[in-house]
Amino acid sequence: MTTRVLVADDEALVRAGFRVLLDRDPGIEVVAEAANGDEAIALTRAHRPDVVLMDVRMPGTDGLTATRRILGDPRLPGVRVIVLTTFELDEYVYAALRAGAVGFLLKDVSPDELRHAVRVVAAGGALLAPAVTRRLIAAFASEEEPPPPAVETLTAREREVVTMIADGLSMADIAGRLRMSPATAKTHTNRAMTKLGARDRAQLVVLAYRWGLARVPRTR
């Protein structure tokens, strides 16, 4: 099955570069390009891509606003957004993750990393494994909030799984450590997401940091 991608960036050369890199993968197809947030919203509604690569700094309607509108549109339930940035710790990325984006990529990402990221996100994953991504999420999620009552409804196993996800472990890694099948690990994850009101694993990690289910990793 082909993964359909929309690339949103105000620089034509950047869009063209990403298109070339992605189209080299026979399992990925770039279905549209957008030069600003308004175009990104309109073209996402028209083409319904699986993944949107969204630049955050664009003239007019920026990528953050576009991300909020796309992910808040009930007509686009399957669309997943990866934000693009030039800087590792960009304040816009914080807000994009809060809005529901599943992760972010630096614009100097390698071709293989770019294609891998698109495949992971299209399959329902989140870009949480790289240390810089965990550091980014931890940076804004460390704004402490009192945990809601829903946290107390998590079982001990669900808490354990959530903590491991926040540490960047994959379902296979978690299954291996806890001596369970990947399907069982995924079941615990889905139950925790339902109880905490997280729409995906990225938001689950944010909530885990914010509500004390995971420790903020140290940065150097």
Instruction: Give per-residue pLDDT as tens, 106-158.
Output: 788 889 989 988 988 888 776 654 545 556 666 655 556 678 899 999 999 99
Concatenating the DSSP letter of every residue in the chain gives -PEEEEEE-S-HHHHHHHHHHHHTSTTEEEEEEESSHHHHHHHHHHH--SEEEEES--SSS-HHHHHHHHHT-TT-TT-EEEEEESSSS-HHHHHHHHTT--EEEETT--HHHHHHHHHHHHTT--S--SHHHHHHHHHHHTS--PPPGGGGGS-HHHHHHHHHHHTT--HHHHHHHHTS-HHHHHHHHHHHHHHHT-SSHHHHHHHHHHTTSSPPPP--
CATH topology of domain 3-127: Rossmann fold (3.40.50)
> pLDDT grade, residue 217 (50/70/90)?
low
Q: For the chain, what are the domain ranges? A: 3-127, 145-210
Domain 145-210 coded CATH 3.40.50.2000 = no
- Is pTM beyond 0.75? Reply is no
